[in-house]
Amino acid sequence: MLIDLHTHTNVSDGLDSPEDLVGQAKSAGLSVIAITDHDTVIGWERLRPPTKQGRLTVVPGAEISCQTTSGMSVHMLGYLFDPNDGPLTEIMSLTRDDRIPRMKKIIELLNGAGIGVTFDDVVERSGSAATVGRPHLADALISLGVVATRDQAFTQYLHNDSPFYVGHLAPSPEEAIAAINRAGGVSVLAHGLAGTRGAIYSLDEIAKLVDHGLAGVEVDHRDHDQQARAQLRELAESLNIFATGSSDYHGTSVGQRLAMEVTAPAVWEGLLARGNGCEVFSL
Ligand code: AMP
Ligand code: FE
Ligand code: FE
Ligand code: ZN
């Protein structure tokens, strides 16, 4: 039983449409897939109500972009929340709106360093995405021949500690957890020890989030080395919270594979029992 609880579509920075993602999940033999686009729910909302029931369970979710008071970027996965909940909807829409001026600021900084990318180049790459992000800028830089891959764009220009980094309006992780919980959802810290992306929490800080209602941590993720996984697994066991695994899939062409990391069935069942803001559906 393959369970993948973290994937993106082209309504944020993934490369496949929600419909294509579902098709691929079925071909890959998945049983459960959560669609967790950055700061938007329209990808999975578009798939509801299903015209025909199938064998793939789709879990409604989102990955909320957060920022700590010290300016650290944190991603919070939310599952099974009520997509019409006022405060959570407001958080996501404020973030999405602010990503536009933020993108323009990053572009200005790049232009200042002699890299001639424009906002229109990014819009051309982001297409119909509701959430504009750095991966779209990376795609624009690829089109312009500045870099060859998204990874190279991040390593060279776009990573969180780069001089071209600009944040956007975002809730604190504690606010995101509270909003997800209030909306009947379940919150799981995404790739919490992915140190290659930038600053990360200490284990003690992650434990404090549990006091604020954090229900789980993503343990098996490609950006976690063996030590990070062991530390998070131990933390989850000691605090009795969910330990998940997931692909954080954005597309096969960026070297990712659905279900390259998975969540144990018992963990998924616990998570499903906890969330009561909306229902899963099958396709
Ligand atoms: P943004 O939402 O605009 O801040 O961009 C963050 C997104 O960039 C993440 O969700 C990933 O999809 C992608 N990404 C890829 N590599 C990195 C990296 N090294 N650091 C941060 N984000 C990365
Ligand atoms: Fe992403
Ligand atoms: Fe993330
Ligand atoms: Zn993600």
Instruction: Specify the pLDDT at position 135.
Output: 98
The CA 114 to ligand 4 mean position distance, Å, reads 30
* Contact criterion met (CB below 8 Å) for 65 and 92: no
Q: Which residues contact 37 (CB under 8 A, 6 or more apart)?
A: 8, 9, 11, 12, 14, 43, 62, 63, 130, 131
The partner residues of 78 in beta bridges, in order of sequence, read: 62, 187
Instruction: Specify the pLDDT at position 51.
Output: 85
- Does residue 250's CB lie within 6 angstroms of at least one atom of ligand 1? yes
Q: Whose CA is closest to atom 3 on ligand 1?
A: 133
Chain segment 55-71, per-residue pLDDT in tens: 999 999 999 999 999 99
**Hey, is 74 helix, strand or coil?**
strand
pLDDT tens string, the chain, 283 residues long: the values are: 999 999 999 999 999 999 999 999 999 999 999 999 999 999 999 999 888 889 999 999 999 999 999 999 999 999 999 999 999 999 999 999 999 999 999 999 999 999 999 999 999 999 989 999 999 999 999 999 999 999 999 999 999 999 999 999 999 999 999 999 999 999 999 999 999 989 999 999 999 999 999 999 999 999 999 999 999 999 999 999 999 999 999 999 999 999 999 999 999 999 999 999 999 999 9
**Shortest-distance atom of ligand 1 to CA 198:** 20
* Cβ neighbours, 10 Å, residue 190: 24
